[in-house]
Amino acid sequence: MSVPHEHVASFYRASAPRAAFAGGDGFLALDGRAHAEICVIGGGLAGLTTAHELARRGRRVLLLEADRIGWGASGRNAGFVSGGFAEGLDALEARLGLDHARRLHDLSRMGVQYVAETLVSSDRRDIVGGRGGLSLWRTPPGDALDRRQERLASLYGLRLDVWDRSRLADVLATSRYHGALHDAAAFHIDPLAYARLMAERCRGVGVWIFEASPVCRVAQVGAGWRVETDRGVVHCEQVVLATSAYGVLNHTYRPLDRAILPVATYVVTTEPLGARLTDTIRFRGCLSDTRRAGDYYRVVAEDRLLWGGRITTRRGEPHRLAERLKADILRIYPQLGDFKVEFAWSGLMGYTRHRMPLIGQFKPGLWVATGFGGHGLNTTAMAGVLVAAAIAEGDDRWTLFAPFKARWGGGVAGRVATQIEYWRLQALDRFAEQRAG
C-alpha cells in the first residue's frame, strides 16, 4: 500500500491552515473498482484544471494523485503568473510564423486571465501576493528594450513599459540591473493555496478526487481504458495524463514519459528581515532576470524574501542548497548582510526538447497536458481549458499545439546534454556581464 509523501517543507506549507483541505486531512486513496467517463491522472494544476473544466461541462470525472494535491511543481513554485511559454516568442515565431505564434501567445494570456478570474470568482484575492512583473537585464540593453517593447506592442498587442536604470534605482537598491520591461498584467500567488482552491472547486462540481493513489498501469481495453493503482482500478472512456516530471519518476506511461525531461530548480525563503528588506526591494511584484537560468524572486509576507534560481538535471537535493542560494542573493543585495534561510526546497519541472507543452490527443481516448517547464501557472490553466473543451465539445484549439510532438528526450544522454547546454549558457551569461563591467 502506498503511503503519500507529505508536501515538501516549504514556506507555503508552513503558511497553510492546519486542516489544509476542506473536510480535514485531504482525500482518501482509491480502494477497489470505480467507473468514470474520464480519469485524470495527476493532481497538479494541469490535472486539477482539466478535471474542473470537464466536470463543469457535465462530465463524470475521477482524478488520481500519487501523493497529495499540489505535491509536485504546482505546490512548490515561485508563484509568478504571466503570459508566454517556456519557449520564447521569437523562437515560436521563427518556427511557426507570426500568425500562429500570436494565437499561441493569446492562449497563454487566456491562462493568466483564467487564474485571475478564478481567484476573483472564488473570493480568494488573498492568494495574490503582489502585482506587476519586472524582467531585468543584467547587461546594458542599448536600444534593445525600446525595440522589444515596440515589437511586442505592434505585433502581439502587449503593453509593456521600459524602465531605465534610474527608474529601477527607485525600487531596487542594487546596481546589478541596467534596465527592465515592466508587465502590469503579471501577478504572483501562493501556488499551494491556489492548488488547494482548485481541488475545492473540483469537489464543488462533483469531481471524485483520490490522493495516495499512484497509477502503475494505463491500458486500452476495447473502446475504453483501464487505469490501475496499487489498490484499485478505474474503468473509463477517456484518460488525461497530467503527471509531468513526477510521472517519469513513477513510471506512469512510458510512451509519454520518455518525452519529458525532469529539470530541478530551487527556492529559499528568509526569516522576516524588516526594513533591511523593504528598504532594499520596494517593488512588490515578480522580479526575474533575463538569463536562461536566472534569478527569480519576490517579497512575501511583508518582509521575507522568496528567492529561486539555478537549474540542474540532477534529481537529488544539492549539497548546502540554502547557502548557495544565499550567496546568489548577496551577490545582488550585499546590504542584506547575514540572515537566516528558514525554508529551502527543490521541485521538478517537466521539459520537452522543444520547450513547449504537450497538449492534446496522444491516441484515441488518451489525452495529455504536460511538459510546461518553468512557465506553468498560466499554461496549465490554458491546457486544462483546451483539453476539457476538446473532449466535451470537440473544440479543436488544441491543434495549435500539434507541431509540438512527444519526441524522445534522450534518456540519460539527454539529461547530460541538457546539463552541458545549461553550463554553456551560464558561461555565456557570465562572459556578457563581465564584458559589460
Ligand X SMILES: Cc1cc2nc3c(=O)[nH]c(=O)nc-3n(C[C@H](O)[C@H](O)[C@H](O)COP(=O)(O)OP(=O)(O)OC[C@H]3O[C@@H](n4cnc5c(N)ncnc54)[C@H](O)[C@@H]3O)c2cc1C
CA distances from 177 to 161, 249, 308 (A): 16, 38, 17
Distance in angstroms (rounded) separating the CA atoms of residues 432 and 437? 9
Q: How far is the CB of 251 from ligand X (least distance, A)?
A: 7
Which of residues 65 and 289 has its CB atom nearest to ligand X in the complex? 65
Which of residues 246 and 333 has its CB atom nearest to ligand X in the complex? 246
**Binding of ligand X at residue 418 (CB under 6 A)?**
no
**Binding of ligand X at residue 372 (CB under 6 A)?**
yes
* C-alpha cell recorded at residue 59: 462530465
Window of 114-122, 126-134, 199-207, 240-248 that interacts with ligand X by CB under 6 A: 240-248
- Of residues 276 through 315, those in contact with ligand X by CB under 6 A are 308
Distance in angstroms (rounded) separating the CA atoms of residues 312 and 303? 29
Which of residues 71 and 333 has its CB atom nearest to ligand X in the complex? 71
Window of 30-38, 124-132, 368-376, 385-393 that interacts with ligand X by CB under 6 A: 368-376
Which of residues 115 and 141 has its CB atom nearest to ligand X in the complex? 115
Which of residues 141 and 287 has its CB atom nearest to ligand X in the complex? 287
Among 134, 160, 215, 356, binds ligand X (CB under 6 A): 215
Q: How far is the CB of 431 from ligand X (least distance, A)?
A: 26
Which of residues 138 and 375 has its CB atom nearest to ligand X in the complex? 375
Site mask, ligand X, residues 316-335, x = CB under 6 A? --------------------
Nearest to 292 by CA among 86, 76, 133: 86
Among 65, 93, 211, 429, binds ligand X (CB under 6 A): 65
Looking at beta carbons, which residue is closest to ligand X?
A: 376
Three-state DSSP class for residue 289: strand
* C-alpha cell recorded at residue 277: 528588506
Among 72, 83, 133, 262, binds ligand X (CB under 6 A): 72
One-letter amino acid for residue 39 of the chain = C
**Binding of ligand X at residue 80 (CB under 6 A)?**
yes
Three-state DSSP class for residue 293: coil
**Binding of ligand X at residue 44 (CB under 6 A)?**
yes
Number of residues that this document lists for the chain: 437
- Of residues 375 through 404, those in contact with ligand X by CB under 6 A are 375-377, 380
**Binding of ligand X at residue 259 (CB under 6 A)?**
no
Residue with cell string 480519469: 39
Contact of 198 with 40, CB cutoff 8 Å? no
**Binding of ligand X at residue 10 (CB under 6 A)?**
no
Residue with cell string 512510458: 254
- E strands present in 290-423: 296-300, 304-312, 341-351, 358-363, 366-370
Among 52, 54, 59, 77, binds ligand X (CB under 6 A): 77
Q: Residue 331, Cα to own-chain centre: how many angstroms? A: 26
Reduce the secondary structure of 244-266 to three states and give it as a string: HHHHHHCCCCHHHHCCCEEEEEE
Distance in angstroms (rounded) separating the CA atoms of residues 216 and 317? 25
Among 29, 78, 92, 193, binds ligand X (CB under 6 A): 78
Max Cα–Cα distance, the chain, nearest Å = 66
Nearest to 196 by CA among 129, 122, 112, 250: 122
Contact of 213 with 65, CB cutoff 8 Å? yes
Among 7, 20, 40, 43, binds ligand X (CB under 6 A): 43
Phi, psi of 309 (to 5 degrees): 175, 180
Q: How far is the CB of 227 from ligand X (least distance, A)?
A: 9
Among 10, 108, 243, 352, binds ligand X (CB under 6 A): 243
**Binding of ligand X at residue 130 (CB under 6 A)?**
no
**Binding of ligand X at residue 347 (CB under 6 A)?**
yes
**Binding of ligand X at residue 374 (CB under 6 A)?**
yes
Which of residues 136 and 141 has its CB atom nearest to ligand X in the complex? 136
The tally of CA atoms less than 13 A away on the side-chain side of residue 138 is 22
Phi, psi of 151 (to 5 degrees): -65, -45
Q: How far is the CB of 36 from ligand X (least distance, A)?
A: 15
* C-alpha cell recorded at residue 68: 497529495
Q: How far is the CB of 168 from ligand X (least distance, A)?
A: 21
Which residues of the chain form contacts with ligand X (CB under 6 A)?
41-47, 64-67, 71-74, 76-80, 214-215, 242-244, 246-247, 250, 252, 265, 267, 308, 347, 349, 370, 372, 374-377, 380
